[in-house]
Amino acid sequence: MIHEYQLRLLPVQASSEQNIISYLAQEEGLDARTVNSVRVLKRSIDARQRTIYVNLKVRAYINELPQDDEFVHTEYQDVSDRPRVIVVGEGPGGLFASLRLIELGFRPVVIERGKDVRERKKDMAGITKTQQVDPESNYCFGEGGAGAYSDGKLYTRSKKRGSVEKILNVFCQHGASTGILADAHPHIGTDKLPRVIENMRNTILKCGGEVHFQTKMTALMLDHERVAGVETVNLATGAEEHFRGPVILATGHSARDVYRYLHAEQIEMEAKGIAVGVRLEHPAQLIDQIQYHNKNGKGKYLPTAEYSFVTQVGGRGVYSFCMCPGGFVIPAATGPQQIVVNGMSPANRGTRWSNSGMVVEVHPDDVAALLKPENGESEGADAADPLCVMRFQETLERDCWQQGNRKQTAPAQRMADFVNRKLSYDLPPSSYAPGLISSPLHFWMPAFVVSRLQEGFKVFGRNAHGFLTNEAVLIATETRTSSPVRILRDRETLQHVRLEGLFPCGEGAGYAGGIVSAGIDGERCAEMCAEYMKRL
C-alpha cells in the first residue's frame, strides 16, 4: 500500500527517513516495521515563528517497495543523420535547446567560445593569481555558461509548472540529486554542477550532436532576410569555419561583442532595464541567527539560512538578488578594465559567509542622467540607443576597476558605514579571493543607486533586526543581473522579427533570468526551430 501524508515536523524529526518513519508510527498509528521506504515529495521550511517547522509531503511505501522512478526519464534518439541546427552558446539556454532538438529528431551543432567545464576552472582560479581575466574563459564564458559556477539555484518566477518540472527532471537524469524535485528552493551547488553539465554534453555527443569548444561566432551568415548559419573562429588555432543551418543564438548577457555586432548589422534590438548595485556579505552565522531567531544559529538540522528582501525607494525597486547562503563572492568580469562581482555556493552551503546582490532597478530612461558625459560616449545617453544600458554597465564596471587599483581587488565598504556615508578604516574578513580595498562607495557610485540602497538597507534593517551592521561588507559592483538588451523576436514563432532562421534565446536575448528560465526558453526555441525546419 502507498499512502501520502502532509506533515509539519520539527527539524530533528524531518532530518532522516528513519525519524520520519518513527513520527508516522507515533502520530499516524503506522507499524514502523511495515514501512519499507518513505519518499519526500515536497519540503519547505517555515521560519516565520520562533519555533521552526519543516513542512513535508511524503509518500510511505507500506508492505511494498517503491516501483516508480524518482524522476521522469526523457528519451534521446540517435540524430547523427538528421538535419542540423546551430546552437551558439552552451549555457543552460543552449544546453536545453540542444537536448530538446535531439528529442525532436534534429542534430544540434553547439558552438561555444569558452573551454569545457573542467578546463575553464583553471582560468577562473587564475583570476586571483594574476589579477587578469581571460576574455574567452571566465565565470560567464565556457561550457555551462554563467550558471556553471554558481549557487545552482533552480527556482524561478516562471508559472509554467510543467516546464519547470521538465528542466528539473532532465537535471536529475544527468546526475543532480533528486532532492531538487522536492525542495521549495532547490539548488545543486557549484561543486556538483560541472559533472551534471558534462553528462548533458555527453548525451548530445552520444546521440550524434557536435560540441565545438573555443569556437567563437564572429558573424551570422546572412542571405537576404534569412540566417543561413554562422561564421566562427577557432580561438586555439585561428582557423575560420562556417557552420550552416538555422541558428539558436544563446550567447548570454555578457557577450558584448555579439550585441555590438548585431547593432552594427542593424539587427533589431532594444535597450532593456537591469538592476545594479553591490554584493553584500555577512557572516553566515549572523544570517542564521537572524532568520532562525536563535542566538545559536541554524543548529544541527537546519540548512544555512536564506533571505529575500524587496522594497520600493524613489519609484524604483530595491531588492536582494541571487542569494548565496554559505557561499563565496566571486570575480565575474569578462574582460579587461572591469570589476564585476557575483556569488556562488557549494552544495553544502558550508562556508563562513552568506552573500547576495543588493540592487536597484535602472530603466533605459534613467541611463541618460546616469552616464557620465566625460566618458566620450554621448550617443549612449539616448534611451533609444539599444546599447545605452550596456554602456552604463561598462562605465560603472570601469569606474569600479579604477577604484580597485586597476586590478581585480574590489572596492568595498562596511554596510553601516555606507549608510552613514563614512569611509571604513578596515574591512571584515571576506570570501572574495582577489582581495578587497576600502573605498567610499557612497561617494563615487551613482547617487541614483547609492541613495536608494541606503534607504533600502534601513528598511531591511528594521524588518530583520541585526541585518544592517558593520559586520557586513558591500563589495562593488554587481551589474550583470540580467541582459541590458532585448533582441526582438516574434511572440509566436520565436524567430527574430525580421530575420528568418534566427532564434534569439535565453538570458542574453532578454527572455530569461536564471538557469531554469533560460532552460525553458531553450526548449521553446528548439520546438519553434523544429516547426520552422518542417516548413522548409
Applying CB under 6 A, the residues found at the interface with ligand FAD are 88-94, 111-114, 139-142, 145-147, 150-153, 216-217, 250-252, 255, 258, 322, 330, 332, 342, 344, 506-508, 512-516, 518
Closest CB to ligand FAD among residues 160, 372: 160
What is the closest distance, in whole angstroms, from the C-beta atom of residue 224 to ligand FAD in the complex? 23
Judged on CB neighbours under 10 Å (0-12, 13-18, 19+), 230 is buried
Closest CB to ligand FAD among residues 484, 513: 513
Amino acid symbol at 132: Q
Give the integer Cα–Cα distance in Å for 455 and 270. Answer: 31
Amino acid symbol at 365: D
Give the integer Cα–Cα distance in Å for 48 and 381. Answer: 45
Residue with cell 570570501: 431
Cell numbers found for residue 416: 553601516
What is the closest distance, in whole angstroms, from the C-beta atom of residue 322 to ligand FAD in the complex? 5
**Are 174 and 138 within 8 A, CB to CB?**
no
What is the closest distance, in whole angstroms, from the C-beta atom of residue 483 to ligand FAD in the complex? 8
Closest CB to ligand FAD among residues 153, 316: 153
Backbone dihedral region for residue 372 (phi beyond 0: left; psi -120 to 50: alpha; all else: beta): beta
Judged on CB neighbours under 10 Å (0-12, 13-18, 19+), 374 is exposed
Closest CB to ligand FAD among residues 342, 409: 342
What is the closest distance, in whole angstroms, from the C-beta atom of residue 522 to ligand FAD in the complex? 7
Residue with cell 532530518: 15
What is the closest distance, in whole angstroms, from the C-beta atom of residue 286 to ligand FAD in the complex? 21
Give the integer Cα–Cα distance in Å for 511 and 530. Answer: 19
Closest CB to ligand FAD among residues 255, 468: 255
Q: How far is CA 203 from CA 84, 96, 231, 505, in A?
A: 16, 11, 25, 21
Alpha carbon of residue 157 to chain centroid: 13
**Are 479 and 226 within 8 A, CB to CB?**
no
What is the closest distance, in whole angstroms, from the C-beta atom of residue 448 to ligand FAD in the complex? 24
Strand 226-234 and strand 240-244: the pairing is antiparallel
What is the closest distance, in whole angstroms, from the C-beta atom of residue 330 to ligand FAD in the complex? 6
Give the integer Cα–Cα distance in Å for 435 and 261. Answer: 34
What is the closest distance, in whole angstroms, from the C-beta atom of residue 12 to ligand FAD in the complex? 28
Closest CB to ligand FAD among residues 107, 279: 279
Closest CB to ligand FAD among residues 150, 285: 150
Which stretch of DSSP H or E encloses residue 197?
helix 193-206
Residue with cell 545617453: 381
Closest CB to ligand FAD among residues 177, 342: 342
Closest CB to ligand FAD among residues 116, 385: 116
Residues in the chain: 536
Closest CB to ligand FAD among residues 281, 417: 281
Closest CB to ligand FAD among residues 394, 417: 394
What is the closest distance, in whole angstroms, from the C-beta atom of residue 265 to ligand FAD in the complex? 14
What is the closest distance, in whole angstroms, from the C-beta atom of residue 503 to ligand FAD in the complex? 12
Amino acid symbol at 319: Y
Cell numbers found for residue 324: 548565496
- The greatest distance separating any two alpha carbons of the chain, rounded to the nearest whole angstrom, comes to 77
What is the closest distance, in whole angstroms, from the C-beta atom of residue 36 to ligand FAD in the complex? 36
Judged on CB neighbours under 10 Å (0-12, 13-18, 19+), 263 is middle
What is the closest distance, in whole angstroms, from the C-beta atom of residue 346 to ligand FAD in the complex? 12
- The one-character DSSP state at 242 is E
Closest CB to ligand FAD among residues 404, 514: 514
Judged on CB neighbours under 10 Å (0-12, 13-18, 19+), 338 is buried
Give the integer Cα–Cα distance in Å for 502 and 85. Answer: 10
